[in-house]
Chains A and B, each alone.
Chain A
């Protein structure tokens, strides 16, 4: 049963610490998304990649957030330094896009709490 895997599921950290969230997309998918979900803002697209190359990261605060795909099986989202306002659920999703469109398959999310 193919699924997107995110680790860790929960993370509590102190303000100022570095946080790294990891995502294993579904094998064969060529597009990876990072979303952030909060009560106030809903689902916000932070960044997305096609064939490991960043296509759009305009939703990400550049001074503290970074997203990478070291290889096709791993996507990372890093926050350094973390702040209490970064507390949210971070979702990774993957999909196979071949000129048209397709649905995105979501992971279970990483619930981040910054104290």
Chain B
């Protein structure tokens, strides 16, 4: 079975501060990992994905995430928060292969204060 746990349902940062959103995964096989962002009344949009190539993955809007097998983590970071980053962020895991199935975490709501 595969699952992800997002630590913190709500994270609040000041504009210009570091953004750190935490995600830990559980998978019996090497996973594929994803971060998605959801703006109000919108669908989910892919930020970045890890597919067993480089462990440091760069995504859109200045976000990046590092795959750490020893810690079973895939935390999302951004050096300097913008007001436009306020949204809900979802970590997701897949085993890949023929029975591709994407399992999402509960989400973390990011608030950016001026």
Contacts and interface: CB of A to CB of B under 8 A. Distances in A.
Interface residues of A, number: 26
B43 A103 contact: no
Interface of B: 32, 34, 36, 42-46, 49, 51, 90, 94-107
Given A91-B43, A91-B44, A109-B43, A43 B104 contact: yes
B104 A108 contact: no
Contact of B102 (A33, A42, A50, A107): A33
A107 B46 contact: no
Contacts of B99: 55-56
Contact of B96 (A100, A104, A107): A100
B49 A48 contact: no
A106 B45 contact: yes
B44 A101 contact: no
